[in-house]
Structure 1
């Protein structure tokens, strides 16, 4: 079995961030929208650093203006994931980009996304669940509106709540009300931290928001007592090595702390974050980690098992995906 064919579980993928550049260009042309110089000469997304990436990301989302647009987007993203061996995925969904946090509009967008997910499952064999994320740099008040959308639509498809955006703006404690609302609605909790905010932001996510998973969390490696605490408490890290390397956080895959964290007993998972932005796929993540650390199929199989154990889906779905992993890995 090749690395591409290995069954994979992805827990950290932004739906809009998975939009192929050609898809965005096509929508812009259909709608006669000028989205500026966000593309490179080779046709990919162009940005200088993380903060420029956020601007380009938000510019790209301006072409997504209707539930039908998100139906098409979801199908395009899931087809790419499935082509790289992903059998289960969790996507971050933002009501900010789906009807401006209006609950009625959000329900219409969500219905379209769910319809596309059902078609993708039938056509490509990939299962999707959604994690609602407010945008940190939009502020706590807008996050409360997003939390209401999340609480009102929690269920079999919407299973988690997190937060993305600029880690250097505001404090995670400012969003505690929104996370409490989501938790009371039965949603599972994650948060982006420890990418640009340093190890202290991981502690904040654990202590102020009570997360069971952390998006990225790589900067925890700068505080080994924190790494040990993460391991002891069984907190899962949604690691995205290709994203970290592309944004200059680490010079290459060998410099990435994923192997050291795994060695120290941390539950690590592998994801692509915003794959077309960072010129990656789940296949490429696996291939680069294989080259960097000589990981074999056994290591990747264990990481896939860890990932589905940490997934926010219901027990029935989890059992189904686990059985698919076991069949593939003998």
Structure 2
């Protein structure tokens, strides 16, 4: 295990961020300001300035988490709110060394206040384009269906996502409590997305065990897994993921905050990494979990024993697992190598 007396700054490590939810990317201060702007009364858990204490391994805990998320989403009511969130998120990504972001959004959640499903997605994509140009962070969108809603709704979203594949939509996801319903109920939606050229990236292997990862692979044709951390409980499944190079978007702080693991040291990042499973560290919902992307790399180093060479490899795996164009990938991979040599990315990168 590599140990360095003077470890390199992980914020200077170029990386891709593949697991970040739209509302969950909001700054706490922005939440408070938008709540005041729109007269939204926030519960103490969202207004205290500290991350709420959550434990979602039972249904009551997950309901509380989802209720807080829905409350936070309710402050996003007009075009300026959306543009502010996206720009600030891009600024935060750049600060953490993220040079490529694939942000996940269910546009149906914002449609009622933004003029409908299509106007909501078009606004989000336009905000993404402008934020990317302003910050230099490459940003794309994964449209996500909600597994608590109808599979027919998911098919509608899949068709919409395919329609905007040339405007910045690169993938199709499935979020919310994976213990509810069956992955195969959404197989037609994912078939539509895959045939339209989109990456299939459903959530699995977080609140439910390794069987949910297998369902994502077998029933939804997943090319990437949101979370997937519970695959570490099944050596044959890890071997399958490694053999097929299916990236798992592991979110250590989120796993602990939601009670999947009691302590950060228990997150099986090392087990997955050593088994050859491609990984992409993610922050999931910084608004609720209290830490952004660079903090996940700090956690991997400080608590899970990853040395700088291994952190660089995690960054490479995040880039390889992304939907970034080949030219962007090559540049990022070269800059990761430079960080490992010099401790920072090349000037102007």
Tell me the TM-score normalised to structure 2 length: 0.87
Distance 1:156 1:308, change over 3 A: farther
8 Å CA contact 2:24, 2:288 repeated in 1: yes
Partners of 1:43 and 1:273 in 2: how far apart?
A: 17
Unaligned stretches of 5+ residues in structure 1: none
Distance 1:254 1:33, change over 3 A: closer
Map of 1:233 onto structure 2: 244
Q: CA deviation at 1:59?
A: 1.5
Residues 113-150 of structure 1: CA deviation (Å, up to 9, x unaligned): 33433343344331111111011112312212221221
8 Å CA contact 1:195, 1:216 repeated in 2: yes
Map of 1:85 onto structure 2: 97
Map of 2:347 onto structure 1: none
Unaligned stretches of 5+ residues in structure 2: 1-7, 57-61, 342-349
Structural RMSD (CA): 2.2
Q: Give the 5 Å matches for 1:178-189.
A: 178-189=189-200
Match of 2:177 among 141, 162, 166: 166
Map of 1:248 onto structure 2: 259
Map of 1:25 onto structure 2: 32
Map of 2:11 onto structure 1: 4
Partners of 1:321 and 1:118 in 2: how far apart?
A: 20
Q: CA deviation at 1:72?
A: 1.1
Partners of 2:173 and 2:85 in 1: how far apart?
A: 21
User: Which piece of structure 1 moves more, 167-176 or 50-59?
Assistant: 50-59
Match of 1:130 among 105, 119, 141: 141
Residues 31-53 of structure 1: CA deviation (Å, up to 9, x unaligned): 12234444253454464533311
In the comparison of the two structures, how many residue pairs are matched? 329
Distance 1:288 1:46, change over 3 A: closer
SS at match of 1:12: strand
Partners of 2:275 and 2:106 in 1: how far apart?
A: 34
8 Å CA contact 2:162, 2:169 repeated in 1: no
Matched, 1:267 2:274: no
Tell me the TM-score normalised to structure 1 length: 0.92
8 Å CA contact 2:55, 2:257 repeated in 1: no
